[in-house]
Amino acid sequence: MKTLLPGSTIGILGSGQLGRMLAHAARRMDYRTHVFTTQRNTPTGQVADLEIAASYDDLDAVRRFAEGVDVVTYEFENVPAQTAETCAQVVAVHPNVQALHVAQNRLREKEFFVQNDLPVTPFAAVDSLESLVAGLEHTGFPAVIKTAESRYDGKGQFKITLEEEIETAWEAAGHRSAILEGFVPYDRELSVVAARSVHGQFAHFGVIENHHRRHILDVSIAPAPVKAEIAEQAVGMARRILEALDVAGVLCVEFFLTGDSRLLVNEIAPRPHNSGHLTIEASVTSQFEQQLRAVCGLPLGDTAYLCPAAMVNLLGDLWRTGEPDWEALAHFPAVKLHLYGKREPRPGRKMGHLTALASTASEAVNRVISARRTLGGE
């Protein structure tokens, strides 16, 4: 693949905040961006050079989109396989369609981890009430049932603690193909955002600590306070995953760290990740510039951190009593506000985030949480 230099056009499938921040990075370096989306005036479309609104099933529109760009990447993994494949017939798609295919389905993903000797919690495929009961014998209680596809922020997940909950759980999973996982009593949740170039160069942003609320990421902290050997193991596993999938682009691996210092791989996302947003301010190269570099065939950028950082998400819940107090926020000089241009602040919807920099990670966390509190959040 020829190296794509400034002036080239990046095609983005999907139009949320991840595409928006990629488009920002692209614009700074004078690349053009075309976004393919099912809606209009989207977070990505607002900053891209061109927003093409059509159905993912409209393969003629998909083909025309692919013909107008120099490379295609995606910003969420629910892009239908046929859409990505149609693009791949016209132009390079990074990360490749196979990586997307694995990440789209929780069962395929777990099987991929097992095939690559990566440690995971016990799991079972579930497609009926009977198989759910059988699966629970393998995982034990408590367990979590998750729909295999259309995964997003814990939707379609249900924790099963008691036998009486089995039927309700099967209802909650919508009678659809699902995965049952042994519940992990983890000490911490961690992620590694890593990148691999078209030429096989590897880079990573170290280990980030994550806290979730209602299954949605709430706070991310870098660097994570883990021992050097744990960090090394996590990065090593991330590298194996990127290499096994032959990824060119950015990929995030989420882990559980147990009380007895064992890492279990939870899931992957073949794109920049919410936990990596803090790299925009805290690292020499952000995860979005890294995605751009990786898919354009450029050498990867320096991932060194300039200082510790913490990020909190701003969910739609914060708008419950009206517009948050942005003026009060402006009194936090080391806190950076990102808003995604979404017009409807629904509960649980990611509307923006805040990043704080500080001389220690705990100071960054305190700073960013106080800032969110000023806005009316907890």
273 versus 293: smaller Cβ distance to ligand AMP: 273
CA atoms of 156 and 135, how far apart (whole Å): 18
Q: Is 265 in the site for ligand AMP (CB under 6 A)?
A: no
**Cα–Cα nearest to 341, from 49, 42, 50:** 42
Q: Is 154 in the site for ligand AMP (CB under 6 A)?
A: yes
**Among 24, 215, 239, 240, which residue interacts with ligand AMP (rule: CB under 6 A)?**
215
Q: Give SS3 for 31.
A: coil
CA atoms of 217 and 311, how far apart (whole Å): 10
Helix 81-88 crosses helix 59-67 at what angle (to 10 degrees)?
40
Least separation, in Å, of the C-beta of 195 and ligand AMP?
21
11 versus 156: smaller Cβ distance to ligand AMP: 156
Least separation, in Å, of the C-beta of 369 and ligand AMP?
19
Q: Is 181 in the site for ligand AMP (CB under 6 A)?
A: yes
**Cα–Cα nearest to 143, from 130, 132, 129, 127:** 132
60 versus 260: smaller Cβ distance to ligand AMP: 260
Whether residue 104 contacts residue 110, with contact meaning beta carbons closer than 8 Å, is answered with no
152 versus 326: smaller Cβ distance to ligand AMP: 152
Q: Is 189 in the site for ligand AMP (CB under 6 A)?
A: yes
40 versus 214: smaller Cβ distance to ligand AMP: 214
Q: Is 262 in the site for ligand AMP (CB under 6 A)?
A: no
The footprint of ligand AMP on this chain (CB under 6 A) covers a number of residues equal to: 13
Q: Is 267 in the site for ligand AMP (CB under 6 A)?
A: yes
**Among 23, 47, 118, 144, which residue interacts with ligand AMP (rule: CB under 6 A)?**
144
The set of residues, in sequence order, having a beta carbon less than 8 Å from that of 367 and lying 6+ positions away, is 310, 332, 334, 335, 356, 358
DSSP conformation letters of 209-224: EEEEETTEEEEEEES-
149 versus 267: smaller Cβ distance to ligand AMP: 267
31 versus 255: smaller Cβ distance to ligand AMP: 255
Binding part of the chain for ligand AMP, among 31-39, 178-186, 290-298, 306-314 by CB under 6 A, reads 178-186
Cross-strand pairs, 10:
33, 71
Percent helix, strand, coil in the chain (nearest 5)?
35, 30, 40
Order the strands of the 50-53 sheet from edge to edge: 50-53, 32-37, 9-13, 71-74
Q: What are the tokens at 335?
A: 């806190």
Q: According to CB under 6 A, which residues from 113 to 142 bind ligand AMP?
A: 121
Least separation, in Å, of the C-beta of 144 and ligand AMP?
5
Interface contacts to ligand AMP, rule CB under 6 A: 121, 144, 151, 154, 181, 183-184, 189, 212, 215, 254, 266-267
